[in-house]
Chains A and B, each alone.
Chain A
Amino acid sequence: MSRLKWVVLSLAVLLVLLLLLAPGVLAHVDPVATSDAHLEGPSGSHLFGTDLLGRDVYSRTVYGARPVLVASFLGVLLASAAGVAIGVLGGVAPRWINAVVMRLVDVFLALPVLLIALILIATAGSGVRSIVLAIGIAFTPGFARVVESSVRRLRKAEYVEAARVFGSTTLRTSWRHLLPNLLTEVVVLGSSAIGWGILTATTLSFLGLGVRLPAPDWGSDLAAGATNLADAWWLSTFPGLAIMATILLANFSGDHLMRVLDPRAGIRFGRSFRRLAIRLSRHGGDIAHESA
């Protein structure tokens, strides 16, 4: 890891924190305030130009980060928590419970992520909260699959066997021995799922299922700009570039985290991880481990 990479990574993390917690530091103009400057191209006064209603696109791009980041972070967090709970349950429970739980997980794995998300939004209504829930539920089976197979592997480990021999209950063994050992794996998996989370969140808001207008959001702003594509390229381009940069950053830090935390991850996760990587990635994802 070179020093340059560290600098870039820290700056990027700082930027994400600012976008999330204090977007006002980066943009001074109100993102929903309209003006008479309709569809003006990028200039000194409007860095990214203005939209049909004369709103500042730079400001909207800065403020539009929050719903995307919140939805993808919380969604993935929810999915990891639920996935660990289901995976551990499936891993330590008697055979028949395991069979029932994991078959259920398979059913959800058999449906495309976006379809699950759409079904959920069809029932729960649109909004950022629904997107969090949709990502949470749609990503859970992937986490559960990987965790379950790791739990089964860990249960055969000597220290777990030893704990059992000394009379440790299943609950205690799960809490003291299994969970701590799963942590690295889940963190790595979660960080590489963030990129897909961002993609899913922006796809859903692109379809108009996210924030309520006129609130700024990368996905819905990108979609709104599409109608003026011919005469105002900047409307869709800047939110699009922002999405792209965020996904790149997420994948890059995910890769990095994996190398730091667990150099053998690619080998240990083996088949199930690769399958997950393939399934979770709606659009791509990180198959770097494949070539590693």
Chain B
Amino acid sequence: MLLFVVRRLGAAIPVVIGITLIAFVLVHVVPGDPAKVILYGANASPEQIATLRQQLGLDDPLWRQYADFAVNLVHGNLGTSFLTQTPVSHELLSRAPSTLILTATSMLVAVLVGVPLGLVAGMRPGSVLDTVARWISFAGVAVPYFFLALLLVLLFSVKLHLLSAIDDGTAKSLVLPAVSLGWGYAAILTRLVRGRVIDELRSDYVKSARARGSGELRVLLRQVLRNSSVPAVTTIGLQFGNILTGAAITEVIFGRAGLGSFLATSITSKNIPVVQGAVVVIGIAYVVINLGVDLIVGAIDPRTRQEAAA
């Protein structure tokens, strides 16, 4: 197990370095001088631009700039926003909770809908319930979440006046965004769990548990659900980054103030330090979560440890 952990950590380090490199390079491939962008509104003289370039270290050799960037990064300093002149880390931190809550709630929706639906469908393949579950998951995979979001708003807030489409800080206003984002992942989980349950029910240990006289419910909970949940955990964990970016877009639709709407406006206004910071934060969060998922799965299922070593 220790070897496995070390190996996984070792594989994550170059990825993190790579992410910081991509973020660093970003500033240098964007057309235009960052110093000019910052002073854009100020009708800057060439001297002002030259001074600012020096302050920003833009005249230093590239490796030096990257070293500075990396050192700052380790200290949690992500630079200053071009627009508001406030530290990027503060701006990101103040908006992150909203996005993370939406991400977590969507994952919860996916698991709470997908796992039971898959379990029920897999228990009786070909039954009415199974057919319904398969149609739901088939549609779930094909409906883009931004479209689903609009349909849900149309139905539940415009027509039925049941739920608010606009963020008012309550848990109730989280329902529509979380369901529209989580639904597609619920569909993936349904298909995944269904397939697993069918396999598990045919397996030798289920047969022997039944032969020992275990009740059907006990077999389902102890053998089938447990073994089927491993790939479900892996899948939803690996989807974290995608759900996070999905959450960012869902925010834009529902007018929630989170990382996504911030990132989107920063891209259009070429506020590069913010884009850079967001790339680093989202990228590293993704790596950390993946690592966590790998380790959890490794702890639950010893077979994956061997597979990784082979």
Contact = CB atoms under 8 A, between A and B. Distances in A.
A176 B23 CA distance: 39
A251 B30 contact: no
B22 A107 contact: yes
Contacts of B196: 291
Contacts of B187: 284
A243 interface: yes
Contacts of A237: 151
- Give chain A's interface secondary structure class: helix
Contact of B286 (A110, A223, A284): A110
Given A236-B147, A248-B142, A285-B188, A226 B253 contact: yes
Interface stretch (A90-98, A111-119, A146-154, A167-175): A111-119
B119 interface: no
Interface residues of B, number: 61
A110 B146 contact: no
B185 A284 contact: yes
A110 B283 contact: yes
Contact of B191 (A106, A236, A290): A290
Contact of A283 (B150, B184, B268): B184
A33 interface: no
A278 B264 CA distance: 25
A247 to B, nearest CB: 4
Contact of A121 (B191, B267, B279): B267
Contacts of B19: 107, 110-111
A206 interface: yes
Contacts of A199: 144
Contacts of A42: none
Contacts of A288: 191
A65 to B, nearest CB: 15
A48 to B, nearest CB: 15
B151 A240 contact: yes
A121 B231 CA distance: 34
A230 B161 CA distance: 12
Interface stretch (B60-68, B90-98, B244-252): B244-252
A113 B242 contact: yes
B195 A243 contact: no
Contacts of A112: 241-242, 244-245, 282, 286
Contacts of B283: 110-111, 115
Contacts of A229: 150, 153-154, 158
A291 B195 contact: yes
B235 A103 contact: no
A250 to B, nearest CB: 9
A241 to B, nearest CB: 8
22 contacts: A106-B11, A106-B18, A107-B22, A110-B283, A119-B279, A123-B30, A206-B249, A207-B249, A226-B150, A226-B253, A229-B153, A244-B143, A244-B147, A251-B142, A275-B238, A282-B245, A284-B184, A285-B141, A287-B188, A290-B191, A291-B191, A291-B195
Given A283-B185, A287-B188, 14 more contacts: A113-B245, A114-B245, A115-B279, A119-B275, A123-B29, A123-B31, A207-B264, A222-B147, A223-B146, A233-B154, A240-B144, A243-B147, A282-B242, A284-B187
Interface of B: 11, 14-15, 18-19, 22, 26, 29-31, 138, 140-147, 150-151, 153-154, 158, 184-185, 187-188, 191-192, 194-196, 198, 231, 234-235, 238-239, 241-242, 244-246, 249, 252-253, 263-264, 267-268, 270, 272, 275, 279, 282-283, 286-287, 290, 307
Q: Which 5 A-B pairs have the closest CB atoms?
A: A291-B195, A107-B18, A284-B141, A112-B241, A240-B147
